[in-house]
Amino acid sequence: MRLLTHNMLSCNIKGVTNGFPLRIEAEKFMEKEVDFNIDFLKSIFSKIEWTALVEAAQSLGYNELPEEVVDSSSMLESSDFLKKFHHALLELHLEEGALICPETGRRFPVSKGIPNMLLHEDEV
Amino acid sequence: MSSRPEFQAPPEIFYNDVEARKYTNSSHIQDIQTKLSERALELLALPDDSIPRLLLDIGCGSGLSGETLSESGHHWIGLDISQAMLDVALDREVEGDLVLGDMGQGIGLRTGVIDGAISISAVQWLCNADKSSHEPRLRLKAFFGSLYRSLARGARAVFQVYPESVAQRELITSFAMRAGFSGGVVVDYPHSTKRRKEFLVLTCGPPSVSTALPTGKVEDEESCSDASSDDGDERTVSISERHRPTKKRKLTKKVRGRQWVLQKKEQMRKKGNIVPPDTKYTARKRKARF
């Protein structure tokens, strides 16, 4: 599961108002090479929750992302920034571990890169 | 298949290891799923600017439909309830991210992040109560509500469905409308029982000129009667929030004319059948009692 997907996932349990971002408990992760596409990075940037991405990358051991993106228009022109962004967003894969809901503490296990988001009967 | 899969078992049980492999290895199914995905992607009407988008594949199964999305350069997240099907997708090393989840429990994505959603042959599973705790209406509501929220403004969702009945299609479209979607049904090849395919095309946001429904495909190889030239109206049914969903009009069989009979006879001759010669009596109006 890439951090792009993690940045979109939110806890769906009934009654939970703040189910994002899910905290990552990483047991095993991998790096896979993905084609670099500037247009995609620029267009997806506005949808990304930056703090969540930085935290998620750090939990996978990648600390190169700046904590804050103050001036996005100029940052998006810097190829150095884009490469780091690309690496964190698309090339880091969580293989084994868990996603933890920030509000309820519920664990969603991740196995073979697939998070199990199935809710129990009483959580729907 | 003699009976519909939905009648045999819930999807996570029906699509077990054996069935998942059988499904994915069947070249017939691969072919159909690819064609359906390509058509669904076409109906998504994404802007033609070669910027990859983030799409959602609902009921992605073993990734047959997702591969079509990857081939067009898009990133996608696939959701499916069957672990066995997702395992097959892993084996095939699909490029999208897979999530094990139940669409009837809600999509579970943040607001406005998805640029488009497709679903091939999956949404009809929502209409079955697979567990005693299931209430299909609540599941449909949760599904469409959460999907609407997760789609960006102006984004579309295209579902290829095999509705069991008109009532089931009505049920699905009514819940889509209640969630705020507008759109309609596009039918490809409406006259052919084998090739007929239905796509529910939904748009986020109010209906506008840009969200006009595309017309469904019609056979052009077979010669149809000239009298059916207004088929365009019968191929799409649009729904909006103002009025209740209109039932798809029954295909009225126009009274066949002499022209059609002559064409059919010509076809049969080409096939090699023995056909009586065409005379002034061919397709002449008979008395009612005849």
**Token match 């979607």: residue?**
B181
Terminal-residue alpha carbon distance, chain A:
24
Q: What is the pLDDT of residue A20?
A: 87
Range scoring the smallest mean pLDDT among B6-10, B38-42, B75-79 = B6-10
CA nearest neighbour of B212 among B203, B221, B220: B203
Residue A14 forms contact with B (CB below 8 Å):
no
Q: What are the tens digits of pLDDT across the range A98-107?
A: 999 999 999 9
Q: Tell me, what's the pLDDT at B223? A: 35
Question: Which of B48, B99, B107, B115 has the most A C-beta neighbours within 10 Å, making it the best mutation to test the interface with A?
Answer: B99
Q: pLDDT digit string (tens) for A41-52?
A: 988 998 999 999
Q: In chain B, which residue's Cα lies nearest the Cα of A120?
A: B105
Contact B158, B43 (CB under 8 A): yes
Q: pLDDT tens digits for B174-198?
A: 999 999 999 888 988 888 888 888 8
**Chain B contact probe: residue of A2, A3, A5 with most B CBs at under 10 A:** A5
Best mutation target among B56, B69, B97, B140 (most A Cβ atoms within 10 Å) is: B97
- Pairwise CB contact (< 8 Å): A114 & B133: no
Digit-coded pLDDT (tens) for B239-249? 555 545 556 55
Burial class of residue B175 (count of CB atoms within 10 Å of its CB; 0-12, 13-18, 19+): buried
Q: Say yes or no for a CB contact (<8 Å) between A114 and B100.
A: yes
Rounded Cα–Cα distance for residues A65 and A79 (Å)? 13
For chain B, list the strands marked E by DSSP: 54-58, 75-80, 97-100, 114-120, 151-161, 181-188, 197-204, 236-239
pLDDT at residue B170 tops 70? yes
| pTM of the predicted model as reported, rounded to 2 decimal places | 0.77
Are B201 and B173 a contacting pair, CB within 8 Å?
no
Cβ of A97 under 8 Å from any chain B Cβ? Answer: no
Taking an 8 Å cut-off on Cβ atoms, the answer to whether A47 and B54 are in contact is yes
- Copy the structure tokens of residue B3: 């009976």
Which helix (H) or strand (E) covers residue B86, if one does? Answer: helix B83-91
Q: Can you give the pLDDT at residue B221?
A: 42
Confidence of residue B82 (pLDDT cuts 50, 70, 90): very high
